[in-house]
């Protein structure tokens, strides 16, 4: 049994990696399209020179370079993929196989990361060449903790978006909800500004959502500023479990109303 | 086995134009569309059955219920001992559905990669999978194509690769929805030969829908005819022809032009193109009419055939269901 599961996982990983290598040009464009933190880097660095902020100019630069890197690990597109599967009818082919369709989507997410990261590290190196004063060496323990938090954050974000993607059974534009979600994500995750510059009330409320654990706190950990790991585990755990439970209900209801159109 | 199988959809009823859209926004109205209305049939292991019907007749909806993609609105359904909609692993390993023009192969990778995934998904041991791939590829004559990216293959080659992928786990029930759609004559013939061989060697049950009557004639001793969601015929093609079209065609090439009126004294004139003539002759009268034609018209060529199956089916769809009663 265990051998069969491992074989499925290995074959899916190998084949989807081969597919992602075929799509490397598109993946590099998507990775490069995530440069919002690098744009904001310039804005905040300039602002820090003249205003009074909790972070110095160099700290802002370092924060946004690391935020750019961290964000690449929690980039999820399950809702777009699932919506396409349902609207094109391709879901039917996958439903006819004794493997839940989600495993193929997970394989594509994990293998895409492998192809994406070399370019991302290249961009980060260029950033530190442009701002050598921001270069620093993170502690190994912080890298380990940030990796752990990012792994949790990835799965939480994946489960939340996967749950939302179930709307594709009833709506042709399930992705609209993700676009709304992304607006909130922009402000509360730390992509637009570190949570340090936000009012205490907003920050406290944000910490009950998964957003700050996707970008701000992993960045903060890498920078050596620490993070409320226990709280992160509880919040991400609750959001993941609730999303998983709701997803199961919506999946069962969705399949009953699935018309397999286009297939 | 399907008994009194029904499927209805609830669809939004919306009038056209902005006014219709606004009205629909504030007061949604729906109507139930009955796609399948009480269909019953049984298919034994190893049978090759044609499933015929016009577009929208309910064939594909029935196939989707048989494979578990759609939940029947009512009725009983068992396939290989399972209720398909449960989609249990054991059931999914016994069936396959091939839909012409729909693909499961990964577009940018060689077909062999998709086959590797399928082998793992269906828990086929590596050596067994390799042996089956080699065997099926040889039967389908695509050994050299499996290492090319799927996007580089012709439609026929792609369809053969799709068939290979769908049959790798040796399903005992095959449901084929227009598997030869859009293929050239050679590819159609090759797929037909393959399906026949697969059905005979594996004792697989096959349910085939096709708009190409040549597929049905070549492969299906038994046909199910579905019309407006109801099963209107279940039996052999020959019996269908006899019941719906109790006549034969007399094809003649005459030495000279003969008027339609004179030809009509022999039988109904179906076609008159110069010296080429097709007469529809009542089955009981064939011998007499042939004797008269030979004696009086002295044809250069003469042939007696059954009417084309398209014509037979067309008669049913044109409202001659009473002929089946």
- The region of weakest confidence among A5-19, A29-43, B310-324 is B310-324
Residue A180 has pLDDT above 60, yes or no: yes
Among residues A233, A96, A223, A107, the alpha carbon closest in space to that of B69 is found at: A96
- Model pLDDT, residue A18: 93
Task: Please indicate whether, in this complex, the C-beta atoms of A19 and B106 are within 8 angstroms of each other.
Answer: yes
Task: Please indicate whether, in this complex, the C-beta atoms of A15 and B71 are within 8 angstroms of each other.
Answer: no
Separation CA B289–CA B273 (nearest Å): 20
Average of per-residue pLDDT values in chain A: 90
Tell whether A15 is within 8 A of chain B (Cβ).
yes
For residue B150, the chain A residues in CB contact (below 8 A) are none
Residue A243 has pLDDT above 60, yes or no: yes
Residue B325 has pLDDT above 60, yes or no: no
* CB-CB neighbours of B7 under 10 Å: 23
For residues B97 and B55, the model is more confident at B97
- Model pLDDT, residue A223: 92
For residue B70, the chain A residues in CB contact (below 8 A) are 258-260
Separation CA A26–CA A28 (nearest Å): 5
Tell whether A23 is within 8 A of chain B (Cβ).
yes
Task: Say if pTM beats, i.e. exceeds, 0.80.
Answer: yes
Contact between residue B106 and residue B159 where contact means Cβ atoms under 8 Å apart: no
For residue A12, the chain B residues in CB contact (below 8 A) are 117, 120
Task: Please indicate whether, in this complex, the C-beta atoms of A259 and B120 are within 8 angstroms of each other.
Answer: no
Average of per-residue pLDDT values in chain B: 86
- Model pLDDT, residue B278: 92
List all residues 6 or more positions away from A176 whose beta carbon is below 8 Å from its beta carbon.
none
Measured between CA atoms, the residue of chain A closest to residue B72 is: A256
Please give the average per-residue pLDDT across A31-54, as a whole number. Answer: 78
pLDDT > 90 in chain A, percent: 61
Task: Please indicate whether, in this complex, the C-beta atoms of A97 and B102 are within 8 angstroms of each other.
Answer: no
- Model pLDDT, residue B215: 81
Q: What is the largest CA-CA distance in chain B?
A: 77
Q: In the structure, what pLDDT confidence band is assigned to residue A262 with cuts at 50, 70 and 90? A: low
Dump pLDDT digits (tens) for A131-167.
999 889 999 999 999 999 999 999 999 999 999 999 9
CA dihedral B50→B63→B134→B139, nearest 10 degrees, is: 10
Q: In the structure, what pLDDT confidence band is assigned to residue A263 with cuts at 50, 70 and 90? A: low
Separation CA A8–CA B157 (nearest Å): 27
Tell whether A3 is within 8 A of chain B (Cβ).
no
Tell whether B104 is within 8 A of chain A (Cβ).
yes
Q: How far out from the chain centre does Cα A54 lie?
A: 27
Q: Give SS3 for B205.
A: strand
Dump pLDDT digits (tens) for B43-95.
999 999 999 887 788 888 999 999 999 999 999 999 999 999 999 999 999 99
- The region of weakest confidence among A213-222, A227-236, B96-105, B236-245 is B236-245
Tell whether B86 is within 8 A of chain A (Cβ).
no
For residues B187 and A170, the model is more confident at A170
- Model pLDDT, residue B47: 94
Measured between CA atoms, the residue of chain A closest to residue B175 is: A96
- Model pLDDT, residue B218: 84
Is the Cα torsion angle B194, B196, B201, B204 positive or negative in sign? positive
For residues B74 and A32, the model is more confident at B74
Q: Give SS3 for A214.
A: coil
Please give the average per-residue pLDDT across B158-169, as a whole number. Answer: 90
Separation CA A184–CA A190 (nearest Å): 10
Tell whether B15 is within 8 A of chain A (Cβ).
no
Residue A221 has pLDDT above 60, yes or no: yes
Please give the average per-residue pLDDT across B231-253, as a whole number. Answer: 84
Tell whether A258 is within 8 A of chain B (Cβ).
yes
Please give the average per-residue pLDDT across B125-136, as a whole number. Answer: 91
Q: How far out from the chain centre does Cα B318 lie?
A: 19
Q: Give SS3 for A19.
A: helix
**3-state SS string for B222-249:** EEEEEECCEEEEEEEHHHHHHHHCCEEE
Dump pLDDT digits (tens) for A66-84.
999 999 898 899 999 999 9
ipTM above 0.95, yes or no: no
- Model pLDDT, residue B308: 74
Separation CA B302–CA B9 (nearest Å): 52
Separation CA A114–CA A204 (nearest Å): 34
Please give the average per-residue pLDDT across A61-67, as a whole number. Answer: 92
CA dihedral A262→A170→B95→B196, nearest 10 degrees, is: -10
Measured between CA atoms, the residue of chain A closest to residue B95 is: A96
Residue A88 has pLDDT above 90, yes or no: no
For residues A119 and B243, the model is more confident at A119
Contact between residue B191 and residue B160 where contact means Cβ atoms under 8 Å apart: yes
Residue B324 has pLDDT above 60, yes or no: no
List all residues 6 or more positions away from B297 whose beta carbon is below 8 Å from its beta carbon.
B252, B254, B258
Q: What is the DSSP string of B61-87?
A: HHHHHHHTSS--SEEEE-BTTB-GGG-
Q: Which residues pair with B268 in a beta bridge?
A: B280
Dump pLDDT digits (tens) for A116-135.
988 899 999 999 999 999 88
Considering only CB atoms, B121 lies closest to which of A99, A256, A263, namely A99
Residue B14 has pLDDT above 70, yes or no: yes
Please give the average per-residue pLDDT across B246-254, as a whole number. Answer: 87
Give the position of tokens 């059905």.
B199
Contacts of A205-209 with CB under 8 Å at 24 or more apart are A207/A231, A207/A235, A208/A235, A209/A184, A209/A235, A209/A239
Please give the average per-residue pLDDT across A200-218, as a whole number. Answer: 94
**3-state SS string for A25-70:** HHHHHHHHHCCHHHHHHHHHHHHHHHCCCCCCHHHHHHHHHHHHHH
Residue B119 burial (10 A CB sphere; 0-12, 13-18, 19+): buried
Degrees to nearest 5, angle at CA A75 with B105 and B111: 10
List all residues 6 or more positions away from A124 whose beta carbon is below 8 Å from its beta carbon.
A65, A68, A69
List all residues 6 or more positions away from B187 whose beta carbon is below 8 Å from its beta carbon.
B155, B156, B159, B160, B180
Dump pLDDT digits (tens) for B282-321.
888 889 999 999 999 899 999 888 777 777 777 777 665 5
Task: Please indicate whether, in this complex, the C-beta atoms of B108 and A22 are within 8 angstroms of each other.
Answer: yes
Separation CA A189–CA A71 (nearest Å): 10
For residue B106, the chain A residues in CB contact (below 8 A) are 15, 19
């Amino acid at each position: 049994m265990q051998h069969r599961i491992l074989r499925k996982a290995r074959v899916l990983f190998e084949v989807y990696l081969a597919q992602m290598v075929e799509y490397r040009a598109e993946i590099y464009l998507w990775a490069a399209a995530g440069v919002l933190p690098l744009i904001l880097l310039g804005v905040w660095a300039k602002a820090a020179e003249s205003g009074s902020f909790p972070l110095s100019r160099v700290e802002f630069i370092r924060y946004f370079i690391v935020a750019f890197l961290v964000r690449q690990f929690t980039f999820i597109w399950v809702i777009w993929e699932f919506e396409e599967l349902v609207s094109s009818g391709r879901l039917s082919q996958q439903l006819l196989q004794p493997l839940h369709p989600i495993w193929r989507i997970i394989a594509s997410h994990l293998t895409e990361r492998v192809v994406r990261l070399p370019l991302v590290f290249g961009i980060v190196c260029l950033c530190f060449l442009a701002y050598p004063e921001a270069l620093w060496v993170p502690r190994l323990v912080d890298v380990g903790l940030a990796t752990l938090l990012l792994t949790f954050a990835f799965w939480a974000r994946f489960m939340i978006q996967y749950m939302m993607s179930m709307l594709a059974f009833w709506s042709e534009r399930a992705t609209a909800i993700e676009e709304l979600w992304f607006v909130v994500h922009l402000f509360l995750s730390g992509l637009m500004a570190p949570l340090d510059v936000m009012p205490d009330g907003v920050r406290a409320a944000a910490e009950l959502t998964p957003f700050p654990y996707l970008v701000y706190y992993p960045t903060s950990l890498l920078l050596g500023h620490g993070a409320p790991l226990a709280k992160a585990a509880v919040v991400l755990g609750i959001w993941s479990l609730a999303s998983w439970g709701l997803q199961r209900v919506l999946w069962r209801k969705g399949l009953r109303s699935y018309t397999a159109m286009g297939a | 086995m399907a008994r009194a199988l029904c499927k209805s959809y609830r669809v939004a009823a919306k009038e056209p134009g902005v006014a219709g859209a606004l009205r629909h926004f504030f007061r949604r109205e729906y109507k139930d569309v009955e796609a399948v209305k009480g269909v019953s049939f049984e298919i034994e292991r190893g049978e090759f059955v044609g499933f015929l019907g016009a577009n929208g007749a309910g064939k594909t909806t029935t196939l989707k219920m048989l494979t578990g993609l759609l939940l029947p609105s009512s009725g009983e359904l068992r396939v290989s001992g399972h209720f398909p909609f449960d989609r249990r692993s054991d059931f999914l390993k016994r069936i396959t559905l091939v839909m012409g023009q729909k693909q499961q192969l990964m577009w940018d990778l060689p077909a062999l990669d998709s086959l590797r995934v399928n082998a793992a998904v269906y828990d086929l041991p590596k050596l067994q999978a390799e042996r089956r791939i080699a065997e099926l590829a040889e039967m389908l004559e695509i050994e050299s194509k499996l290492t090319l990216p799927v996007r580089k293959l012709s439609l026929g080659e792609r369809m053969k690769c799709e068939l290979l992928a769908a049959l790798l786990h040796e399903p005992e029930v095959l449901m084929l929805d227009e598997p030869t759609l859009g293929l050239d004559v050679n590819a159609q013939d090759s797929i037909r030969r393959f399906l026949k061989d697969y059905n005979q060697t594996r004792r697989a049950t096959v349910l085939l829908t096709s708009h190409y009557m040549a597929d049905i004639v070549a492969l299906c001793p038994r046909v199910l005819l579905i019309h407006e969601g109801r099963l209107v015929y279940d039996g052999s093609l020959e019996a269908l022809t006899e019941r719906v079209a109790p006549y034969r065609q007399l094809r003649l090439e005459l030495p000279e032009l003969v008027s339609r009126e004179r030809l009509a004294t022999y039988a109904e004139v179906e076609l008159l193109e110069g010296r080429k003539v097709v007469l529809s002759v009542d089955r009981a009268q064939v011998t007499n009419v042939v004797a008269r034609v030979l004696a009086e018209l002295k044809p250069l060529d003469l042939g007696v055939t059954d009417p084309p199956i398209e014509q037979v089916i067309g008669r049913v769809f044109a409202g001659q269901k009473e002929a089946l009663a």
